[in-house]
Structure 1
Amino acid sequence: MNIRRVRFDHPDAVKLNDEVQAEYHLRYGDGGDATVLAPEDFDPPRGVFLIAYDERDRPVATGGWRSQDHNDEGNEDGDAELKRMFVIEAMRGRGLARRILAALEEDARAAGRVRMVLETGTKQPEAIALYTSSGYEPCAKFGYYRHYEESLCYAKHL
């Protein structure tokens, strides 16, 4: 597996983002994640976006983080917000999400971020299991979906 840094507007990132949006729609019936993201949100040193490629150079998994500081959506100074963690269905169960998560945590730590935060939902039990088994704990809700009952937020000190 080859994990590469790319821009969020890279064609492979766009393709996988479309796939994750379709999955969100299937699970929640709401058209996908409405959180506004811009490619520059993930530009180093204020973020990064990663894609894992298989042995045939096909994009199979993604994840990114973007800097967040104290704001009116509930973030705190020094936050790194995890976004667009996704593994295509055919590659699930192989530890790819865990590898990308570890790489993102290390990158955010190296960039001086002090806490990784994420928002997921009640209809994503695989994500909840990954994060809780990786040391994430429930935290105060933040972000676009902070007022939604199905929203769950987690944090881990880096």
Structure 2
Amino acid sequence: MERVHLPTTESAVVAIRDLAGEFGVRTTVTDDVGADQVSRRTSAALFTVFDPDGSLPHEAFVELAGSPCVSVRLSPEGDARITVDGVEFHDVPRDSVPGFLRSVYGGPARTEGRLFPPGQWLVVPLPVDETYRELIVDVGLTPWLARSAR
């Protein structure tokens, strides 16, 4: 399976909604549009809608209900922060978000633990030879994280 090209925040939101429908997961989307509304544009003047280059920045926050608890913050710069049961993955390319979520809901995502160095990691392999690993900071694993341990 190839990576899907998602040129806009809105196209990524549509892809997430389609994937959520496929897995029977409810979604809630919050959109922020305009330079004075998106989180990375804190220096924008009040009521400034467009960036200096004339573009209209769009940021979205998507919550996916159920187990695991997943949220996706899509930035106008083309990256995303995905949180799975409290484990945060920063700087995931927007084009990789559908594959990431498919791995979480479709099965290949797993937790791995080691004795040395000690720790548990959430490992999310994507279908295009790309893998994301993040340390699980919380000592107690959620039921979904514990169930996916290998």
TM-score by length of 2: 0.32
Please state which structure has a larger fraction of its residues in helix: 1
Please state which structure has a larger fraction of its residues in strand: 2
TM-score by length of 1: 0.31
| Larger Rg computed on CA atoms | 2
